Amino acid sequence: MHWLIGTHSNSGLGRIWREIGGIKDGDIVKLDSFFKVFYNNETLTFYNDFDKLECELNRVCVCDKDKEEVARFMDVLRYLGMFEIPSDIPPELIIEQPKPDFAFARKTISFMTRTLGDYAQRFETPIIRYALEHAPVNKRFCVLYFAETLSNLCSGNADLPRGGSSVAIRNVTERFKALGGKLITGAPVSEIIIEDGIAKGIKLESGQTVYGDYTVAACDIHHTYEKLLGNKYAPNAFFDDNSDKEKYSTYSYIIAAFKTNMDLHSRDVAEIYHTEKFDLSGKECDVLSVRHYAYDESLTNDGYTVLQVFVDTDAADYQRISGMSRSEYAEFKRRTGETLKCQLEKYYGVNGDVELIDVITPRTYERYLNSYQGSFMTFPLGAKMAQPLYARRVDGIDKLYLANQWLMAPGGTPIAVMSGKFAAQLIAADAEGVI
Ligand SMILES: Cc1cc2nc3c(=O)[nH]c(=O)nc-3n(C[C@H](O)[C@H](O)[C@H](O)COP(=O)(O)OP(=O)(O)OC[C@H]3O[C@@H](n4cnc5c(N)ncnc54)[C@H](O)[C@@H]3O)c2cc1C
């Protein structure tokens, strides 16, 4: 987990995270910076603090025009503050729909209609351009998404649970069980059982069936429609939009994870190095994007922690990797790990043991999660892209609800957790005969 939006106790998401146990007050880690860039002997730090960030951006500006753009950028950032998507009740249960917020649209329109990659070109300062093109938010996203993330970080609403994702998962699981929930893992579902237009339960790959009053499909929406519902139900608007492959194309990561006993305490949590061009198993790269986990004592064991190198991938990379035979894939992972280790030694200044643990690819996410084209979030929320708000129900099936990040781009844990809450509220409304 890199940042979790909704850690502030006054935010809507903050209330949900606390209710389900994902965040516990007193167990939140705050990071000083979002990322730091190293470019041609210069550095630029994206601090998680509005004033420090503004000073730092102005420090590197090479011209007044860029300083003016920095002022505009910071103005929107401060305006966004702890901006969040409304998460109290699902839109289906809102009787009087809120009026469109024209002030918000006016203020942010130029950030909605431009990708981060395009926005980078507005700057003449080389290090700002490079930073925006290689930020930990994919450059195909609209600037607004990057600004919202940074703004939440600066407002203290995007921190991390101590212990990372595994502790958050454990806490949520314990809360669920304490409320009477029963959790069965390692039991893949092969089908949702539908009888006379009503979801009756699920069939497991083992052949076992599980019946229930309601069924919630809490996994990738493509997997739900194509496999669990056997392509028998009319695709909704989601799939029509999806057919524009350029606009709705996927992205993901390759991650090489290393075990290390390096002293990382003086390092920024995420560092991005401009490198000489190098070949990464057939892909030309000029960036080394590194993240360490030494910021949290509980993620250090016997003096060792994890260092990761991230490589952005696109739909073409997914096709290439997924087409590899087992042996080709093993060789690809081995070479990728070795190359990234060499780059780490060259640019990150390795001063201790660094041992490759494993290389994770889009194929890993597909195998573990059944995620569409190995995506770890949804489509990038690009420029001029209408926000796809998808139905939480499937036309022609009662008692079935969908809950997962694909219901709203760009996904991520906030959308996933909201979708779970909304599904529960809709089931309650359904049971009471309200819908
Ligand atoms: C390296 C990495 C870092 C990330 N960092 C962040 C971050 O910092 N902040 C953030 O907000 N998000 C982050 N994300 C994204 C985040 O993990 C996802 O957005 C989120 O997990 C999506 O939740 P979900 O419930 O929709 O889907 P998932 O988490 O994929 O959950 C779906 C579950 O359904 C299971 N499943 C699928 N098919 C079946 C089946 N047939 N039968 C039974 N079970 C099935 C899957 O195994 C999975 O457990 C990160 C992702 C990755 C990979």
Between CA 133 and CA 150 the distance in angstroms is 15
User: Do residue 196 and residue 148 come from a single domain?
Assistant: no
180-225 tens-digit pLDDT: 999 999 999 999 999 999 999 999 999 999 999 999 999 999 999 9
305 three-class SS:
strand
Which helix (H) or strand (E) segment holds residue 110: the answer is helix 102-112
Can you spell out the DSSP letters for 263-302? --TTS-SEEEEEEEEEEETTEEEEEEEEEE-TTSGGG-BT
Residue 172 lies in a domain: no
Which helix (H) or strand (E) segment holds residue 254: the answer is strand 251-260
pLDDT of 381? 83
Bridge pairing between strands 4-5 and 158-161: antiparallel
Centre of ligand 1 from the C-alpha of residue 98, in Å: 31
Contact 25, 427 (CB under 8 A): no
Q: Which atom of ligand 1 is nearest to the CA of 413?
A: 11
Q: Which domain holds residue 336?
A: 255-359
Residue 198 lies in a domain: yes
Question: What's the sign of the alpha-carbon dihedral 168, 169, 172, 174?
Answer: negative
Residue 127: pLDDT over 70: yes
Q: Which two tokens mark 308?
A: 């990761």
Among the three residues 113, 137, 155, which one is the final residue of a domain in this structure?
155
Choice from 375, 376, 422 to test ligand 1 binding pocket (greatest atom count within 8 A of CB): 376
Among the three residues 359, 387, 404, which one is the final residue of a domain in this structure?
359
305-323 tens-digit pLDDT: 999 999 999 999 999 999 9
| Residue 218 near ligand 1, beta carbon < 6 Å | yes
Q: Mean pLDDT throughout 47-65?
A: 98
Between CA 295 and CA 28 the distance in angstroms is 12
Residues shown for the chain: 435
Q: Which two tokens mark 272?
A: 């991005």
User: Do residue 91 and residue 140 come from a single domain?
Assistant: yes
Contact 13, 147 (CB under 8 A): no
Residue nearest to atom 52 of ligand 1 (CA): 376
User: Do residue 37 and residue 141 come from a single domain?
Assistant: yes
Q: Which atom of ligand 1 is nearest to the CA of 227?
A: 41
Centre of ligand 1 from the C-alpha of residue 104, in Å: 31
33-42 tens-digit pLDDT: 999 999 999 9
pLDDT of 352? 81
User: Do residue 262 and residue 342 come from a single domain?
Assistant: yes
Between CA 258 and CA 304 the distance in angstroms is 10
Choice from 17, 289, 377, 379 to test ligand 1 binding pocket (greatest atom count within 8 A of CB): 377
User: Do residue 137 and residue 68 come from a single domain?
Assistant: yes
User: Do residue 343 and residue 267 come from a single domain?
Assistant: yes
Q: Mean pLDDT throughout 86-90?
A: 92
Decide: pTM greater than 0.85.
Answer: yes
pLDDT of 195? 98
| Residue 369 near ligand 1, beta carbon < 6 Å | yes
Q: Into how many domains does the chain fold? A: 3
